[in-house]
């Protein structure tokens, strides 16, 4: 008899929520790694798939092995592949232990891997891209934990000056008047592991366009497990969805105790059809593939339409 092939290890989840690709894998207790290439960030590194290397910043939510196990490998591979020194942000309490971990690798490998590790406090920010910063938000888990929100900053003209001609605005600016204010736009939020907490209802989460949310348990009998492990349960989601305006909410960190089919049924049952329509599961490969094919089809159709319209135009 021919023995079974091993399961394909790099079977990554993938969702396109324009303009962002959300890709990675996430199973409770095993590993979580979620990369958003367009934002130059990878959230957590439970292990290190090849795709994670291209993100120059790793935002670690907390110190559980399923979220941090791939970090030293990521630092090492980025340097080995000449992609520059990786930069990692993490909860402040983890900064020293993670540096100790990297120091422990030196005698193991008999060489030093360059790395940057920066602990963040609640509401501290680091630069992601020009005009976009990553803001840390304290979460509530079994150990010190942060969620993260990518925030865009736009400089806007103060409304009291909006009717003035350009020349006057320029003159005011030259006189040193503050003619603009900064508008904060939450783009994409990542909860990391957490139980229900008030910070999940902060504006950054409520107004983000996409929320990547932990949801470990789906079974009604697993409420106590959620409380003990300090995780979210699908029955916590209705309150969150009521507050979150996001057009896409992506559930991560599902437990293997519940099959995808059962989880899908529970999402519909607990959230109702309308709300469930904006909820996706990163690891639901089949459903995500159908969604992606429809997106490709839709784009093809609209570009055909443009071609038709141009052809019709004399």
Residues of this chain that bind Zn ion (CB under 5 A): 64, 66, 193
Is residue 105 a contact partner of residue 51, using CB atoms and an 8 Å limit? no
- In the complex, least distance from residue 228 CB atom to Zn ion, rounded to whole angstroms: 12
- In the complex, least distance from residue 65 CB atom to Zn ion, rounded to whole angstroms: 9
- In the complex, least distance from residue 62 CB atom to Zn ion, rounded to whole angstroms: 6
Is residue 285 exposed (0-12), middle (13-18) or buried (19+ Cβ within 10 Å)?
middle
CA 133/CA 185 separation, integer angstroms? 10
When the beta carbons of 151 and 189 are compared against Zn ion, the nearer one is 189
- In the complex, least distance from residue 192 CB atom to Zn ion, rounded to whole angstroms: 8
When the beta carbons of 76 and 255 are compared against Zn ion, the nearer one is 255
When the beta carbons of 193 and 204 are compared against Zn ion, the nearer one is 193
When the beta carbons of 35 and 113 are compared against Zn ion, the nearer one is 35
- In the complex, least distance from residue 141 CB atom to Zn ion, rounded to whole angstroms: 6
Query: CA-CA distances (angstroms) from residue 164 to 62, 111, 181?
Result: 50, 63, 16
Interaxial angle between packed helices 71-80 and 95-109, expressed in degrees from 0 to 180 and rounded to the nearest 10: 60
**Residue appearing with tokens 């159709």:** 301
- In the complex, least distance from residue 193 CB atom to Zn ion, rounded to whole angstroms: 4
When the beta carbons of 61 and 113 are compared against Zn ion, the nearer one is 61
Comparing CA positions, the residue from 220, 222, 227, 238 lying closest to residue 194 is 227
Query: CA-CA distances (angstroms) from residue 214 to 209, 226, 250?
Result: 16, 11, 8
- In the complex, least distance from residue 297 CB atom to Zn ion, rounded to whole angstroms: 35
**Residue appearing with tokens 């690709």:** 21
When the beta carbons of 224 and 269 are compared against Zn ion, the nearer one is 224
Query: CA-CA distances (angstroms) from residue 270 to 102, 157, 166, 263, 274?
Result: 44, 44, 54, 10, 11
When the beta carbons of 193 and 235 are compared against Zn ion, the nearer one is 193
């Amino acid at each position: 008899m021919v023995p079974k092939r091993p399961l394909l290890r790099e079977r990554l989840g993938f969702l396109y929520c324009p303009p962002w690709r959300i890709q990675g894998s996430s199973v409770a207790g095993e590993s979580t790694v979620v990369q958003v290439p367009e934002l130059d960030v990878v959230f957590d590194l439970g292990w290190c798939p090849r795709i994670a290397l291209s993100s120059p910043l790793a935002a670690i939510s907390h110190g559980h092995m399923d979220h941090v196990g791939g970090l030293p490998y990521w630092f090492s591979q980025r340097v080995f592949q000449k992609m520059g020194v990786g930069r990692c942000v993490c909860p402040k309490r983890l900064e020293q232990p993670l540096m100790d971990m990297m120091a422990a690798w030196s005698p193991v490998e008999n060489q030093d891997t360059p790395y940057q590790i920066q602990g963040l406090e609640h509401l501290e920010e680091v630069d992601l891209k020009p005009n976009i910063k990553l803001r840390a938000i304290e979460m509530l888990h079994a150990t010190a934990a942060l969620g993260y929100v990518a925030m865009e900053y736009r400089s806007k003209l103060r409304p009291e000056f909006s009717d003035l001609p350009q020349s006057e605005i320029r003159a005011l600016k030259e006189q040193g008047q503050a003619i603009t204010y900064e508008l904060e736009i939450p783009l994409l939020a990542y909860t990391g592991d957490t139980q229900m907490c008030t910070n999940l209802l902060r504006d950054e989460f409520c107004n983000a366009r996409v929320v990547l949310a932990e949801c470990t348990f789906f079974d009604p009998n697993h409420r106590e497990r959620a409380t003990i492990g300090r995780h979210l349960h699908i029955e916590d989601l209705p309150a969150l969805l009521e507050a979150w305006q996001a057009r896409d909410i992506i559930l991560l960190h599902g437990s293997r105790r519940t099959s995808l089919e059962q989880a899908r049924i529970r999402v519909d049952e607990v959230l109702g059809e309308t709300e469930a329509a904006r909820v996706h599961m990163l690891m639901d490969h089949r459903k995500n593939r159908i969604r992606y094919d429809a997106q490709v089809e839709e784009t093809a159709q609209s570009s055909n339409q443009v071609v038709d319209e141009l052809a019709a135009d004399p």
